[in-house]
Structure 1
């Protein structure tokens, strides 16, 4: 068990796209983020790159882990969640599951004002798309959810926007999202500051459907 007097380090993983992203920070003086375009090689290299990335730190230096929970690629999403859950279980650490849409919204927050809706859109299958609508909270230490992550037909999303009287243009996610691992970690840190301490078993992938 890590003492509360130990230096605060967090570790973030993002595997929901073809790009692996890892980030670590002490949220004061040091932050590092690195990406690898692995595509189908994710399962072969994830643990190797994790071990290399955290050096010279050891696993015992971390106080919590954060992982992007989707939406995104079905297989790579699951691989990242399993790896993060295993680490959190073995190290007895809290595990924060962060929406990949929310992380992308946070990554682009500088382009939006406080309380300004950030509508994030990601392509899904069968002509549908994933979407979530957020805004920076007044404390500037996280996001408030206007519409939680879901998957819909385009016409239903248009109706949702009309019902909410929102005219915001969608912020469309790129094919590579590993670069937002730092945002996954930051959003988890703000929850950590609020005293949240989620058990690893609470984090499951989000696929936009009833699959776990």
Structure 2
């Protein structure tokens, strides 16, 4: 009976804390999906745990079978808070923690909401503003409806990024993302993690590391 109940109560939870927004997503891997965002700014750490508990209701922590977390790039402080929370939950609940790139979350979200803009034979080039007039960038290849890494997360000057795009041998769609839209991509962070989970991947909380892309100033 216990195994049956657990099978009926499998949920994945995603945290996105790499900007001034907090984004949370909860899914039963099927029809049920819950997504919310909050503008907490620098008060994120004050509200996070209370909001998490309320967001999970009426489900319990024991219903979770995976945690997904945006690992960056993004805010140093926010990213650290999200990773620390996800790692703690993963350790306490003994469930896998999937650190997912902020940039693939953006690409996946845009592809899901406007699929007509992203045909199978195109690349997706994502840029997000960084400090010192630079960009966080990544490029993904669409193959069999999956996003595969074509250029891993990097930080580049606008000139270097422009040259990188000019050298591409495949058609691409460019995404110029902003921090203001990151919270709502928690749903896509969770979708990517669920795909990995269904493929049999089970990363431990100890493998959840941030990607900052640059040193704090």
TM-score range, shorter chain: over 0.9
Separation of aligned partners in 2, 1:169 and 1:154 = 17
Separation of aligned partners in 2, 1:166 and 1:40 = 41
Structure 1 residue runs without a partner (length 5+)? none
The total of aligned residue pairs comes to 208
Structure 2 residue runs without a partner (length 5+)? none
1:193 matched residue in structure 2 = 198
Separation of aligned partners in 1, 2:60 and 2:173 = 43
User: 1:82-119 CA deviation, whole Å, 9 max, x = no partner?
Assistant: 00011001110100011111001000111311231111
- Contact 1:16–1:71 (CA<8 Å) still a contact in 2? yes
Shift of 1:209: 3.1
**Residue 21 of structure 1: SS of its match in structure 2?**
strand
Q: What is the TM-score when the length of structure 2 is the normalising length?
A: 0.90
1:130 matched residue in structure 2 = 136
Separation of aligned partners in 1, 2:3 and 2:40 = 36
Distance 1:186 1:119, change over 3 A: same
- Contact 1:161–1:167 (CA<8 Å) still a contact in 2? no
Q: 1:57 aligns with which of 59, 78, 82?
A: 59
Shift of 1:27: 1.8
The aligned runs of 1:1-212 (5 Å cut-off) are: 6-7=7-8, 8-109=10-111, 110=115, 111-138=117-144, 140=145, 142-166=146-170, 168=172, 170-176=174-180, 177-209=182-214
Q: Which has the higher helix share?
A: 2
